[in-house]
Amino acid sequence: TVGLAVDGTPMKITSVAGGFPAAQTFLEVKALEVAMAVENGADEVDMVINIGAAKEHNWDLVREDMKAVIDAARESSRYVKVKVIIETCLLTEEEKIRMCDIVSKSDAVFIKTSTGKNGIAATPEAAVAMCLAIRQFAEKTGRKVGFKAAGGISTAESAALYYSIVEEILGEEWLTPERFRIGASSLANNLLSEIEGREIKYF
């Protein structure tokens, strides 16, 4: 149904998969779930890192999980973008930077702050740390990974703050849908309400 609704438009179908929101399931299940999402029309897939492995600093297992999910998304004939959620509220500053480096070295196209399911979601502090890590990786390798802030961003002022962080640290070339996104379901409703002058709950 969603596919029919967006067919012929520039809109894309995004699905969470891979054991969202905690990623605490068998690797085979994660890969199968992603493959099924793609088979059913997903153009983009949002996955969550293996938090347990990250907290144990088992970086090889984190990479293995990520590779299995990304490979499952790419096995179709279509190009499917994968966004990797690192769940910043559960990571230390050092772990956030390490995860940004690991995701940047993978075939993922976006690093996303959070699921919004674990207390504190996106924070400006986490955004700064992530954007600095993304910039450093881009300067070293030329690969420019996208940044997505998600969770708790519900006002125009908060959205503008994340926009400013990206503009200041990563530059104007990141201010496109291909490299910068905001998780905006509640934000969209609030913006529409301000524009229309009445409460709107479209999303």
pLDDT tens digits for 182-192? 987 777 788 88
How far is residue 99 from each of residues 18, 92, 112, 152, measured CA to CA in Å? 18, 10, 11, 21
C-alpha–C-alpha distance, residues 203 and 50, integer Å:
29
Please report how many Cα atoms fall inside a 13 Å half-sphere around the Cα of residue 68, on the Cβ side. 21
Cα–Cα nearest to 203, from 185, 190, 187, 182: 185
Q: Is 110 left (phi over 0), alpha (psi -120 to 50) or beta?
A: beta
- pLDDT tens for the chain, 203 residues long, are 455 555 667 778 899 999 998 898 999 999 999 999 999 999 999 999 999 999 999 999 999 999 999 999 988 778 899 999 999 999 999 999 999 999 999 999 999 999 988 877 789 999 999 999 999 999 999 999 999 999 888 888 899 999 999 999 999 999 999 999 998 777 778 888 878 888 878 76
* Residues recognised as catalytic: 46, 112, 148
Please give the pLDDT value at position 193: 84
